[in-house]
Structure 1
Amino acid sequence: MPEHPAYPVGLRLTGRRTVVLGAGQVAQRRLPALLAAGADVLLISPSATPSVEAMAERGELRWERRRYAAGDLVDAWYALIATSDPEANAAASEEGERERVWCVRADDAEAASALTPATGRGAGVSVAVLSAELHDRDPRHTAAVRDAIVEGLRDGSVVARQYRSRTPGVALVGGGPGDPELITVRGRRLLAEADVVIADRLGPRDLLDELPPHVEVIDAAKIPYGRFMAQEAINNALIEHAKAGKAVVRLKGGDPFVFGRGMEEAQALAAAGISCTVVPGISSTISVPSAAGIPVTHRGVAHEFTVVSGHVAPDDERSLVDWKALAALRGTLVVLMGVDKIDRIAATLVDHGKPADTPVALVQEGTTATQRRVDATLATVADVVRTEQVKPPAVIVIGPVVRVGPDTLP
């Protein structure tokens, strides 16, 4: 008989009996997808890996602690045969053939009636890759093809036009600390699908160059009027473009809800009746110190870290920060937007009892090619900022973790 390629098909297993024989590494890898498909899973195996056992303990599947027995595949729709007993695998495969149950064999693909493709998800589709040659299967090749397609769909480098109408709306996307590779997969995909992008100056600017020519890019920093009116103008621009039927991305630095006015924009959109999706981003509060080799927590050094905004000085009546309480903490203090106020911040902390020799690190342009780190103490930081000409954006880290590094002895 000539060999023919496998016929690809998607099985709908919701609520349907699925038998898994064996609970080792193969089952551990395959079970999550079966459970996600809603399959009614019966696991038959005398033992299981800890991860598979945890699935049974959570009630995600039924587990019978025994070996395969004739009749186990009766009334099943699908079976995964993955025991360490070749004779049991062959017997189960023969039963599946008699009962007309699609069976996957982990030990012998050529003896199976079904094959498991290399699968992945991206951009709202499932990707399944099968080898065209059964006798010359190369799982690593099919997995690599799968990964390339899924990664392209996720990061927007593979873009396929959607023919169904999209629902207009706005996505508030956290772009991360600056390195374009640190945006989330979902954020990058939404950027690739956008009609309009309203971008912050602190967002990952390099990603804007990758957008198709038809995408309108609006620089939020150049929207006119004062600070308050600028935010109102941004809100109005989001609403205007969304009401025009456009898919709008508001690209922000860091995370939309960490000193990013993201909730103000979400509230404005809700008041206008416009759907809003929030995509969290990697906050500079932890990523920038990490990129500079500073752990915000470290065993035996700091058990907590606190993040505050320094855009308002401690002696300003508008300040909502309890600087006296912060000075009493023994952990790490991370200050954003505080470069031009660091002299008063440092003096206030010392006045409230923080030791003047407390280490301070300023990380400018964190995670980007121009990143630099400047170290000081609370007593010297004001002078160091002036002499070293530290400029925003910079993340300020205060506490003993500043002196912790890869070469520090435990």
Structure 2
Amino acid sequence: MPEDAPASEDVGTVYLVGSGPGDPGLLTVRAREVIDDADVVLHDKLPGPEILDSIPAGKCEDVGKRAGGEWTPQEYTNRRLVELAEQGKTVVRLKGGDPFVFGRGGEEAEHLAANEVPFEVVPGVTSAIGGVGVAGIPVTHRDHASSVSFVTGHEDPTKDESAVDWEALAATGGTLVVLMGVGKLPEYSQALLDAGMAPETPLALVERATWPDMRVATGTLGTAEATRDDAGIEPPAVTVIGEVAASHDRLRAFLANERVSTVDADDGDVDTGDAEGAE
């Protein structure tokens, strides 16, 4: 019997919900249903301001970033999910993107199962695909990329025990999508260059994908850090490395998305191209 097993059979259900990249229009019908029916919604900052504003404040619990720049420990979130379910509550754990793509949803699912708490996974549109797609960047393309790799940018590529094989990734010839990789951009871009990836390989940074203030900056692997700094790109942002990243510059004048702005990395100005309604 698990250490903190439920005291009764009247255990609530936990929903591990992906909210998509941030635009409420990309929230799935199922996600909207369970959010509306929930007693409590445990969320972080990534679901996007419009989605969070649509949830009554009285049933929201922020388990993301705290005052002083500290993050809620994962162990606390795990315990809180079980605690609320044991009280018979219907609980939504709301995450940005998809809960099983660098969202620690797998850890939470295992913790719930270990404590005999029923749960349901509600997939979301991951920013690794949908977030860059709205910027006109396909992660695969018949002429440019037959494979795609998703990597977390939180890990330091110079550490001895790195779980990311940057040399192998550089050799795939496919698209590389790095999530949460703004801060470590200089390190992993250099690691890819050291592994033999060409400096002229196209690169794009998509900041706050689908949010009202979404921005896109483009450059090359060799100019990665300068592209980030000149454009002032900040988290949350997705990095796309590979030939498909050049698609944004070719397509941006015809993107009808109202929320796609392109940053000129040379002077920080926003270039909306000819896209109707672009900010």
Aligned pair partner of 1:375 in 218, 229, 232: 218
- Quick check: 1:174–1:282 contact (8 Å CA) kept in 2? yes
Distance 1:201 1:229 in 2: 12
Please tell me the residue identity of whatever aligns with 1:209: D
Matches within 5 A, 1:326-405: 326-404=169-247, 405=250
Report deviation, 1:226.
Answer: 10
SS in 1 for 2:64: helix
Instruction: State the number of aligned residues.
Output: 242
Please tell me the residue identity of whatever aligns with 1:197: V
Report deviation, 1:303.
Answer: 1.0
Distance 1:382 1:226 in 2: 24
Aligned pair partner of 1:178 in 7, 22, 27: 22
Aligned pair partner of 2:87 in 235, 244, 262: 244
Residue 308 (structure 1) aligned with residue 151 (structure 2): yes
SS in 2 for 1:203: coil
In the other structure, the counterpart of 2:131 is 288
Matches within 5 A, 1:52-67: none
Please tell me the residue identity of whatever aligns with 2:79: N
SS in 2 for 1:218: strand
Instruction: Give TM-score scaled by structure 1 length.
Output: 0.56
Report deviation, 1:211.
Answer: 3.0
Residue 297 (structure 1) aligned with residue 137 (structure 2): no
Please tell me the residue identity of whatever aligns with 1:400: E
Unaligned segments of structure 2, at least 5 residues:
1-9, 254-279
SS in 1 for 2:79: helix
- Quick check: 2:135–2:252 contact (8 Å CA) kept in 1? no
RMSD: 2.2
Aligned pair partner of 2:51 in 207, 214, 220: 207
Distance 2:239 2:25 in 1: 23
**Residues 407, 337 of structure 1: alpha-carbon distance in 2 compared, 3 angstrom cutoff:** closer
Please tell me the residue identity of whatever aligns with 2:235: P
Please tell me the residue identity of whatever aligns with 1:202: L
**Residues 223, 339 of structure 1: alpha-carbon distance in 2 compared, 3 angstrom cutoff:** closer
Instruction: Give TM-score scaled by structure 2 length.
Output: 0.81
Q: Which has the higher relative contact order, 1 or 2, with Cα contacts under 8 A spaced 6 or more apart?
A: 2
Instruction: Write out per-residue CA displacement over residues 265-293 of structure 1, whole angstroms, 9 at most, x where no aligned residue.
Output: 11111121111111111111001111111
Matches within 5 A, 1:247-286: 247-286=90-129
Report deviation, 1:229.
Answer: 6.8
- Quick check: 2:44–2:65 contact (8 Å CA) kept in 1? no
Report deviation, 1:204.
Answer: 3.3
- Quick check: 1:223–1:230 contact (8 Å CA) kept in 2? no
Between 1:204-213 and 1:387-396, the stretch displaced more is 204-213
Distance 2:68 2:231 in 1: 33
**Residues 189, 321 of structure 1: alpha-carbon distance in 2 compared, 3 angstrom cutoff:** same
Distance 2:83 2:239 in 1: 37
SS in 1 for 2:239: strand
SS in 2 for 1:379: helix
Please tell me the residue identity of whatever aligns with 1:283: T
In the other structure, the counterpart of 2:60 is 217
- Quick check: 1:223–1:234 contact (8 Å CA) kept in 2? no
- Quick check: 1:297–1:332 contact (8 Å CA) kept in 2? yes
Please tell me the residue identity of whatever aligns with 1:381: A
Matches within 5 A, 1:96-107: none
Distance 2:178 2:207 in 1: 12
Distance 1:326 1:258 in 2: 18
In the other structure, the counterpart of 1:47 is none
Instruction: Write out per-residue CA displacement over residues 354-401 of structure 1, whole angstroms, 9 at most, x where no aligned residue.
Output: 111111000000111111000111111112212222111100000111
- Greater Rg by CA: 1
Distance 1:369 1:341 in 2: 25
SS in 1 for 2:73: helix
- Quick check: 1:224–1:230 contact (8 Å CA) kept in 2? no
SS in 2 for 1:340: coil
- Quick check: 1:311–1:338 contact (8 Å CA) kept in 2? yes
Distance 1:343 1:334 in 2: 15
**Residues 169, 356 of structure 1: alpha-carbon distance in 2 compared, 3 angstrom cutoff:** same
Unaligned segments of structure 1, at least 5 residues:
1-165
State, as a whole percentage, how many aligned pairs show the same letter.
47
Distance 1:223 1:271 in 2: 28
Distance 2:32 2:137 in 1: 27
Distance 1:171 1:241 in 2: 12
- Quick check: 1:199–1:217 contact (8 Å CA) kept in 2? yes
- Quick check: 1:183–1:281 contact (8 Å CA) kept in 2? yes
- Quick check: 1:301–1:401 contact (8 Å CA) kept in 2? yes
